[in-house]
Amino acid sequence: MSTTVKIKLPQPDDLDAVFYETVAKTGKLCIQHCKDCGTWTHPARYYCPECASENFAFEPVSGDATAHSFTISHFTVEPAWKDLVPYVTIVAELKEGPRVIARTKMKGDEITIDMPIKLDVEVIAPEFSYVWAGKAEG
């Protein structure tokens, strides 16, 4: 199955741009991490939602996650996605707390709610990378 999709790249600004630039630079899923209370936040915010600190860095996460929810898209009006239906999208809950959206090569019937998964990134451009979810090993 081809997974390549010719999408219109987003033009993120503010901290969303910093997030994607950090991921592209490091090749790793990096999430905003509060230097004062340790809370991980996604999407990134100027102030920590837990302690209101503005001291943070984007740091790599483990990639260990669970499938909090998912959807199987059987229909699309977007030419770029037409060849890929049905495509599966997962709401992945990182061990560190935040949730991210992830593509997956798994089929819909292979996924159960809250099952363990492993996340990785595919760098597309400085302004966008895909998160991919696969089966957690062992």
- Which one of another protein, Zn ion, none interacts with residue 24, CB within 5 to 8 A by kind? none
Q: Per rule CB under 8 A, is residue 33 in the interface with another protein?
A: no
* # chain residues binding another protein, by CB under 8 A: 40
Name the residue nearer to another protein (CB basis): 60 or 108: 108
Name the residue nearer to another protein (CB basis): 84 or 136: 84
Going by DSSP bridges, is the β-strand pair 99-104/128-135 parallel, antiparallel, or unpaired? parallel
Q: Per rule CB under 8 A, is residue 38 in the interface with another protein?
A: no
Q: Per rule CB under 8 A, is residue 18 in the interface with another protein?
A: no
Q: Per rule CB under 8 A, is residue 80 in the interface with another protein?
A: yes
Q: Whole-angstrom distance between the N-terminal and C-terminal Cα of the chain?
A: 25
- Which one of another protein, Zn ion, none interacts with residue 70, CB within 5 to 8 A by kind? another protein
Beta bridge partner(s), residue 41: 32
Residues of this chain that bind another protein (CB under 8 A): 5, 7-13, 16, 20, 42-43, 49, 68-78, 80-81, 84, 87, 89, 91, 98-101, 103, 108, 112-113, 128, 130
